[in-house]
Amino acid sequence: MKIIEAGIPGCFIIKDQIFEDTRGYFFESFNKKDFEKLTGLVIDFVQDNQSHSVRNVLRGLHFQRGIHAQAKLVRVLQGTVLDIAVDLRKDSAFFGKYLAVELSAENAQQLFIPRGFAHGFVVLSDHADFFYKCDNYYHKESECGLKYNDPDIAIDWKINEHHLIINDKDRNNFSLNELLQNNLI
């Protein structure tokens, strides 16, 4: 396991050693002891989630508030996505800034996103299977969302907005200013 700081403190790109032969490949996708040693973080993942999406689907930007906030370890099992994490930690020098990482089955990279971030992704391939571990359980009442096209953040999703497939719930997420005004972060 190789850990690389991803540009915003607390976020890490994880590259695992892949063993390939004529049968295919094998790699250890998570090792708690190695993760904690290399990052200095103590993480107890309690929930795994998986989604399947088609090209141009944008999911996000989601987060949970307060004591129900979640750290996530995300990866792609099939296909390619542009993964986005937006820093919502008010005391962070990177508040309102985003991190964009291309994750694919081919590059087998993972992204660790700490608590205090909004998270989302857009599918760049014909379809993608997205998998992630969470260190806190889903809590519906604490669920919240950041607007994918907030001009104050100006995320480059790498796809023309007219081609994006977004559900109504995600279209109606809050802007960063609305989150602040309504004391949601």
Expressed in percent and rounded to 5, the helix, strand and coil fractions of the chain are 15, 40, 45
Look-up of token digits 């542009």 = 82
Per-residue model confidence as pLDDT tens digits over 159-171: 999 999 999 999 9
Of the candidates 123, 122, 124, 99, the one whose C-alpha atom is nearest the C-alpha of residue 112 is: 99
Can you tell me the distance from the alpha carbon of 70 to that of 37, in angstroms, rounded to the nearest whole number? 20
Q: What's the whole-number mean pLDDT along residues 50-61? A: 98
Half-sphere exposure of 9 toward its Cβ, with a 13 Å CA cutoff?
A: 7
The CATH fold assigned to 2-181 is: Jelly Rolls (2.60.120)
Look-up of token digits 């009442």 = 141
Q: What's the whole-number mean pLDDT along residues 34-38? A: 93
pTM score above 0.85: yes
Confidence band of 1 (pLDDT split at 50, 70, 90): confident
Per-residue model confidence as pLDDT tens digits over 112-141: 999 999 999 999 999 999 999 999 999 999
What's the pLDDT at 126? 98
- Tokens for 137? 């359980």
For residue 176, report the phi and psi dihedrals to the nearest 5 degrees: -60, -40
What's the pLDDT at 17? 87
What's the pLDDT at 178? 97
Can you tell me the distance from the alpha carbon of 96 to that of 86, in angstroms, rounded to the nearest whole number? 6
Cβ proximity of 123 and 151 under 8 Å: no
Angle subtended at Cα 102 by Cα 101 and Cα 107, rounded to the nearest 5 degrees: 120
Look-up of token digits 């689907």 = 57
Can you tell me the distance from the alpha carbon of 109 to that of 105, in angstroms, rounded to the nearest whole number? 8
Annotated active-site positions, please? Answer: 62, 132
